[in-house]
Amino acid sequence: MTLIQVYRTLYDSYGPQGWWPADSPFEIMIGAILTQNTAWSNVEKAINNLKGNNALSPDSIINTPHQQLAEWLLPSGYYNIKSERLKQFCHWYIKNGELEALNKLATKPLRESLLQVKGIGPETADDILLYAFRRPVFVIDAYTRRLFLRLQLITGEEPYEKLRQYFESELSDNDNIDKLFNEYHALIVMHAKQHCKKQPDCADCPLRSNCEVGSRLSDA
DNA sequence: ACCCAGGGTCATA
DNA sequence: TATGACCATGGG
Protein backbone atom coordinates (compact mmCIF):
# COMPACT_ATOMS: atom_id res chain seq x y z
CA MET A 1 0.00 0.00 0.00
CA THR A 2 1.20 3.47 -0.85
CA LEU A 3 0.15 6.61 1.01
CA ILE A 4 -2.16 7.68 -1.80
CA GLN A 5 -3.74 4.23 -1.95
CA VAL A 6 -4.49 4.40 1.76
CA TYR A 7 -6.04 7.82 1.21
CA ARG A 8 -8.24 6.65 -1.64
CA THR A 9 -9.37 3.65 0.36
CA LEU A 10 -10.35 5.82 3.32
CA TYR A 11 -12.00 8.44 1.13
CA ASP A 12 -14.00 5.82 -0.77
CA SER A 13 -15.19 4.36 2.54
CA TYR A 14 -15.98 7.46 4.53
CA GLY A 15 -16.35 10.28 2.01
CA PRO A 16 -15.43 13.95 2.51
CA GLN A 17 -15.23 14.92 6.18
CA GLY A 18 -15.79 18.67 5.97
CA TRP A 19 -13.15 19.63 8.51
CA TRP A 20 -12.61 21.78 10.53
CA PRO A 21 -16.11 22.24 12.04
CA ALA A 22 -16.22 25.94 13.00
CA ASP A 23 -17.76 29.25 12.00
CA SER A 24 -14.46 31.10 11.48
CA PRO A 25 -10.70 30.60 11.20
CA PHE A 26 -10.29 32.09 14.68
CA GLU A 27 -12.66 29.49 16.10
CA ILE A 28 -10.55 26.79 14.44
CA MET A 29 -7.43 28.10 16.15
CA ILE A 30 -9.12 28.18 19.56
CA GLY A 31 -10.48 24.69 18.99
CA ALA A 32 -7.03 23.41 18.01
CA ILE A 33 -5.65 24.51 21.37
CA LEU A 34 -8.61 23.27 23.39
CA THR A 35 -8.57 19.82 21.81
CA GLN A 36 -5.07 19.02 23.03
CA ASN A 37 -5.31 15.53 24.51
CA THR A 38 -9.04 16.07 24.91
CA ALA A 39 -12.17 14.55 23.35
CA TRP A 40 -13.77 16.85 20.80
CA SER A 41 -17.19 16.52 22.42
CA ASN A 42 -15.77 18.22 25.50
CA VAL A 43 -14.19 20.97 23.42
CA GLU A 44 -17.55 21.72 21.82
CA LYS A 45 -19.04 22.40 25.24
CA ALA A 46 -16.27 24.83 26.10
CA ILE A 47 -16.58 26.63 22.76
CA ASN A 48 -20.34 26.87 23.23
CA ASN A 49 -19.72 28.43 26.65
CA LEU A 50 -17.50 31.05 25.00
CA LYS A 51 -20.08 31.71 22.30
CA GLY A 52 -22.91 31.87 24.83
CA ASN A 53 -21.04 34.54 26.74
CA ASN A 54 -20.08 36.40 23.58
CA ALA A 55 -16.44 35.69 24.41
CA LEU A 56 -15.15 33.99 21.29
CA SER A 57 -12.90 36.82 20.12
CA PRO A 58 -9.29 37.80 20.79
CA ASP A 59 -10.29 40.89 22.78
CA SER A 60 -12.81 39.05 24.92
CA ILE A 61 -10.41 36.25 25.74
CA ILE A 62 -7.68 38.70 26.71
CA ASN A 63 -10.02 40.85 28.80
CA THR A 64 -11.83 38.03 30.59
CA PRO A 65 -10.30 37.35 34.02
CA HIS A 66 -8.52 34.01 34.29
CA GLN A 67 -10.98 32.67 36.83
CA GLN A 68 -13.96 33.41 34.62
CA LEU A 69 -12.32 32.08 31.46
CA ALA A 70 -11.23 28.90 33.24
CA GLU A 71 -14.81 28.37 34.38
CA TRP A 72 -16.08 28.55 30.81
CA LEU A 73 -13.35 26.12 29.72
CA LEU A 74 -14.14 23.66 32.51
CA PRO A 75 -15.67 20.90 30.34
CA SER A 76 -12.63 20.79 28.06
CA GLY A 77 -10.31 19.79 30.92
CA TYR A 78 -6.92 21.32 31.78
CA TYR A 79 -8.91 24.51 32.20
CA ASN A 80 -6.26 26.49 34.10
CA ILE A 81 -3.57 25.71 31.55
CA LYS A 82 -5.87 26.24 28.59
CA SER A 83 -7.07 29.59 29.90
CA GLU A 84 -3.46 30.77 29.91
CA ARG A 85 -2.75 29.23 26.51
CA LEU A 86 -5.72 30.95 24.91
CA LYS A 87 -4.65 34.28 26.37
CA GLN A 88 -1.06 33.81 25.18
CA PHE A 89 -2.27 32.86 21.73
CA CYS A 90 -4.59 35.86 21.49
CA HIS A 91 -1.81 38.25 22.42
CA TRP A 92 0.30 36.74 19.63
CA TYR A 93 -2.65 36.89 17.24
CA ILE A 94 -3.36 40.58 17.82
CA LYS A 95 0.29 41.59 17.98
CA ASN A 96 0.83 40.09 14.53
CA GLY A 97 -2.12 41.80 12.88
CA GLU A 98 -4.69 38.99 13.08
CA LEU A 99 -5.81 36.91 10.11
CA GLU A 100 -5.18 39.36 7.32
CA ALA A 101 -1.57 40.17 8.16
CA LEU A 102 -0.70 36.64 9.22
CA ASN A 103 -2.08 35.26 5.98
CA LYS A 104 0.53 37.22 4.05
CA LEU A 105 3.34 35.23 5.67
CA ALA A 106 4.78 32.22 3.91
CA THR A 107 4.04 28.90 5.54
CA LYS A 108 7.49 28.34 7.01
CA PRO A 109 7.85 31.64 8.90
CA LEU A 110 4.20 31.43 9.95
CA ARG A 111 4.86 27.98 11.41
CA GLU A 112 8.00 29.19 13.20
CA SER A 113 6.06 32.10 14.64
CA LEU A 114 3.25 29.85 15.87
CA LEU A 115 5.73 27.55 17.57
CA GLN A 116 7.05 30.48 19.60
CA VAL A 117 3.71 30.71 21.40
CA LYS A 118 3.76 28.87 24.73
CA GLY A 119 1.24 26.06 24.55
CA ILE A 120 1.44 25.53 20.79
CA GLY A 121 3.50 22.51 19.79
CA PRO A 122 4.03 20.93 16.36
CA GLU A 123 0.64 19.25 16.05
CA THR A 124 -1.41 22.23 17.18
CA ALA A 125 0.61 24.51 14.90
CA ASP A 126 -0.04 22.23 11.95
CA ASP A 127 -3.76 21.97 12.73
CA ILE A 128 -3.91 25.76 12.66
CA LEU A 129 -1.83 26.01 9.48
CA LEU A 130 -3.85 23.39 7.63
CA TYR A 131 -7.39 24.17 8.72
CA ALA A 132 -7.36 27.87 9.65
CA PHE A 133 -4.75 29.16 7.18
CA ARG A 134 -5.36 26.49 4.56
CA ARG A 135 -1.69 25.72 4.07
CA PRO A 136 -0.57 22.35 2.67
CA VAL A 137 0.97 20.81 5.80
CA PHE A 138 0.40 17.22 6.94
CA VAL A 139 -0.67 16.87 10.56
CA ILE A 140 0.95 14.03 12.50
CA ASP A 141 -0.99 12.79 15.49
CA ALA A 142 -1.12 9.62 17.58
CA TYR A 143 -3.73 8.11 15.22
CA THR A 144 -1.44 8.68 12.25
CA ARG A 145 1.48 7.01 13.99
CA ARG A 146 -0.62 4.04 15.03
CA LEU A 147 -2.26 3.51 11.67
CA PHE A 148 0.87 3.68 9.56
CA LEU A 149 2.77 1.58 12.06
CA ARG A 150 0.14 -1.14 11.65
CA LEU A 151 0.40 -0.73 7.89
CA GLN A 152 4.16 -1.13 8.33
CA LEU A 153 4.94 2.03 6.43
CA ILE A 154 6.80 3.57 9.39
CA THR A 155 8.57 2.29 12.49
CA GLY A 156 6.65 4.58 14.82
CA GLU A 157 9.91 5.83 16.29
CA GLU A 158 10.39 8.69 13.86
CA PRO A 159 10.37 12.19 15.36
CA TYR A 160 7.48 14.46 14.42
CA GLU A 161 9.30 16.50 11.84
CA LYS A 162 10.66 13.49 10.00
CA LEU A 163 7.21 11.95 9.67
CA ARG A 164 5.68 15.22 8.49
CA GLN A 165 8.27 15.59 5.75
CA TYR A 166 7.82 11.96 4.74
CA PHE A 167 4.08 12.37 4.21
CA GLU A 168 4.44 15.74 2.51
CA SER A 169 7.09 14.63 0.06
CA GLU A 170 5.42 11.30 -0.73
CA LEU A 171 2.16 13.06 -1.57
CA SER A 172 3.56 16.18 -3.22
CA ASP A 173 2.92 14.98 -6.78
CA ASN A 174 -0.86 14.86 -6.39
CA ASP A 175 -3.31 17.49 -7.60
CA ASN A 176 -5.25 19.64 -5.17
CA ILE A 177 -2.81 19.05 -2.36
CA ASP A 178 -4.64 21.34 0.09
CA LYS A 179 -7.82 19.31 -0.12
CA LEU A 180 -5.85 16.08 0.00
CA PHE A 181 -4.10 17.00 3.27
CA ASN A 182 -7.29 18.45 4.69
CA GLU A 183 -9.30 15.29 4.08
CA TYR A 184 -6.49 12.85 4.81
CA HIS A 185 -5.96 13.90 8.42
CA ALA A 186 -9.70 14.06 9.05
CA LEU A 187 -10.17 10.61 7.52
CA ILE A 188 -7.45 9.12 9.70
CA VAL A 189 -9.19 10.46 12.80
CA MET A 190 -12.60 9.30 11.57
CA HIS A 191 -11.30 5.86 10.73
CA ALA A 192 -9.75 5.41 14.15
CA LYS A 193 -12.68 6.79 16.13
CA GLN A 194 -15.69 5.46 14.36
CA HIS A 195 -14.54 2.17 13.03
CA CYS A 196 -11.65 0.10 14.30
CA LYS A 197 -12.01 0.78 18.00
CA LYS A 198 -15.53 -0.55 17.92
CA GLN A 199 -14.67 -3.60 15.86
CA PRO A 200 -11.39 -5.04 17.19
CA ASP A 201 -11.54 -7.90 14.71
CA CYS A 202 -11.56 -5.36 11.87
CA ALA A 203 -14.31 -7.32 10.16
CA ASP A 204 -15.35 -4.41 7.97
CA CYS A 205 -12.14 -2.42 8.12
CA PRO A 206 -11.50 -0.94 4.67
CA LEU A 207 -7.76 -1.26 5.28
CA ARG A 208 -7.86 -4.77 6.78
CA SER A 209 -4.85 -4.06 8.92
CA ASN A 210 -5.74 -4.29 12.59
CA CYS A 211 -4.81 -0.64 12.58
CA GLU A 212 -6.24 0.29 15.96
CA VAL A 213 -5.90 -2.91 17.94
CA GLY A 214 -4.23 -2.10 21.21
CA SER A 215 -4.15 1.47 22.36
CA ARG A 216 -0.50 2.27 22.69
CA LEU A 217 2.32 2.53 20.27
CA SER A 218 4.55 0.39 22.45
CA ASP A 219 2.41 -2.72 22.18
CA ALA A 220 2.82 -3.07 18.44
C1' DA B 1 -13.31 1.51 38.74
C1' DC B 2 -10.36 2.09 34.75
C1' DC B 3 -8.98 3.97 30.23
C1' DC B 4 -8.17 7.56 27.22
C1' DA B 5 -9.18 11.57 24.25
C1' DG B 6 -8.11 15.51 17.53
C1' DG B 7 -0.77 17.50 23.26
C1' DG B 8 2.54 20.38 25.48
C1' DT B 9 5.66 22.03 29.15
C1' DC B 10 8.99 21.51 32.44
C1' DA B 11 12.44 19.29 35.43
C1' DT B 12 15.87 15.86 35.43
C1' DA B 13 19.85 12.88 33.70
C1' DT C 1 18.03 13.21 23.30
C1' DA C 2 14.90 11.06 26.16
C1' DT C 3 12.24 9.81 29.86
C1' DG C 4 8.59 11.05 33.65
C1' DA C 5 5.32 14.04 36.13
C1' DC C 6 1.84 17.01 35.50
C1' DC C 7 -2.37 19.10 33.78
C1' DA C 8 -8.47 17.50 34.39
C1' DT C 9 -13.18 16.71 32.43
C1' DG C 10 -16.46 13.43 30.56
C1' DG C 11 -17.84 9.25 27.86
C1' DG C 12 -17.12 4.32 27.13
Distance A120 CA to B8 C1' (A): 7
Q: Do A5 and A182 touch, CB atoms closer than 8 A? A: no
* Residues A48-58: tens digit of each pLDDT: 999 999 999 99
Res A196: pLDDT:
60
pLDDT of A217 over the 90 cut? no
Rounded Cα distance between A99 and A101, Å, is 6
**Res. A197 pLDDT band, cuts 50 70 90:** low
At A211, is the pLDDT very low, low, confident or very high (cuts 50, 70, 90)? low
The closest nt to A39, taking CA to C1', is: B5
Helix intervals (H) in chain A: 3-14, 25-34, 40-52, 58-63, 66-73, 79-95, 98-102, 107-116, 122-127, 142-150, 160-171, 177-194
Residue A99 has pLDDT above 60, yes or no: yes
**Nearest nt to the A33 alpha carbon by C1':** B7
Least confident among A1-10, A42-51, A167-176, A194-203: A194-203
Burial class from Cβ neighbours inside 10 Å (0-12, 13-18, 19+) for residue A208 reads exposed
| CATH match for A25-132 among 3.40.50.10540, 3.20.20.450, 3.40.50.300, 1.10.340.30 | 1.10.340.30
Mapped onto helix, strand or coil, the DSSP state of residue A200 is coil
Which residues of chain A does CATH 1.10.340.30 include? 25-132
Q: Which nucleotides of C are covered by protein (CB under 7 A)?
A: 2, 7-11
Nucleotide nearest A70, CA–C1', reads C8
pTM over 0.75: yes
Which pLDDT score is estimated for A205?
Answer: 84
Q: In terms of pLDDT, which residue wins out, A77 or A219? A: A77
Cβ < 7 Å from nucleic strand B: A 19-21, 31-32, 35-40, 42, 77-78, 81, 118-125, 127, 131, 141-143, 189, 192-193, 215-216
Range of lowest pLDDT (A18-27, A97-106, A210-219): A210-219
Over the stretch A148-179, which tens digit does the pLDDT of each residue have? 998 999 998 899 999 999 999 999 999 999 99
Amino acid symbol at A40 = W
pLDDT tens, residue by residue, A110-139: 999 999 999 999 999 999 999 999 999 999
Protein contacts of strand C with Cβ less than 7 Å away: A 37-39, 41-42, 45, 74-75, 77-82, 159
| Phi, psi values for residue A115, rounded to 5° | -70, -15
